[in-house]
Structure formats: structure tokens, C-alpha cells
Amino acid sequence: NAGVTQTPKFQVLKTGQSMTLQCAQDMNHEYMSWYRQDPGMGLRLIHYSVGAGITDQGEVPNGYNVSRSTTEDFPLRLLSAAPSQTSVYFCASSYSWNTEAFFGQGTRLTVV
């Protein structure tokens, strides 16, 4: 099992560009989520999904879109990148809402 796979690992965007961060898991987990990590602020929940076709907003959803068309994939879309979105992004999955979360390796995004 590969676990949770995120691509790309690094990305530099210009302000206003759009892009999609990919996240895939091969553990048949129902629950998936996206976090951003900024220095001194821990991990903040952007969006999450409790199963295919179901998504909901977290603490900091503005500027981001998600969809969950399959159990395996949970992409995060930046619609129009801003410097404030410079961060490390982590995707996580878990078997259910109250079990341990498995994190991907992260995507380090810089918006200039």
C-alpha cells in the first residue's frame, strides 16, 4: 500500500494562477481532508469529505474548491492563487470520522 499520495511535492505559482493539488489514497478510507500548515498556527482544516460525493467546509475554505467523485481521490483546487495561500498543504485520510488520520507527505506551495 502506498498510503496517501500527494502531488506535486513543490509548486511555485504566480498570483492569479489556478492549480489543482492532487491527493489519492489506496486504503479504501471514507474520510478525507485537506489542511494547510503555517508557522506557529498548527494545521487548519480547509475542506473535508465523509465519502464519495459529499464534501464540507472546514475552518479556512475561502479560495479553495474540492470535489470527491471517487473514494480514492480528493483534489484541492486553488481558483486564483494569492500570496496568502503560500503554505504547506497536507491531505489526510481515515477509515471513519473517529479513527486515526494518515497524512500524505505534503505539498509546499509558494505564490509570488
List interacting residues with other proteins (CB under 8 A): 33, 35, 40-45, 48, 50, 56, 58-59, 90, 92, 97-106
Shortest gap between Cβ of 61 and other proteins (angstroms)? 12
* CA dist., res. 69 & res. 66, Å (int): 10
* CA dist., res. 82 & res. 101, Å (int): 28
Q: Under DSSP, is residue 84 helix (H, G, I), strand (E, B) or coil?
A: helix
Shortest gap between Cβ of 73 and other proteins (angstroms)? 19
34 CB-near residues (< 8 Å, 6+ apart): 21, 23, 45, 46, 47, 48, 58, 64, 66, 74, 76, 89, 90, 91, 92
Kindly tell me which of 18 and 105 has the beta carbon lying closer to other proteins.
105
Shortest gap between Cβ of 14 and other proteins (angstroms)? 26
Kindly tell me which of 19 and 101 has the beta carbon lying closer to other proteins.
101
Kindly tell me which of 12 and 41 has the beta carbon lying closer to other proteins.
41
Kindly tell me which of 17 and 44 has the beta carbon lying closer to other proteins.
44
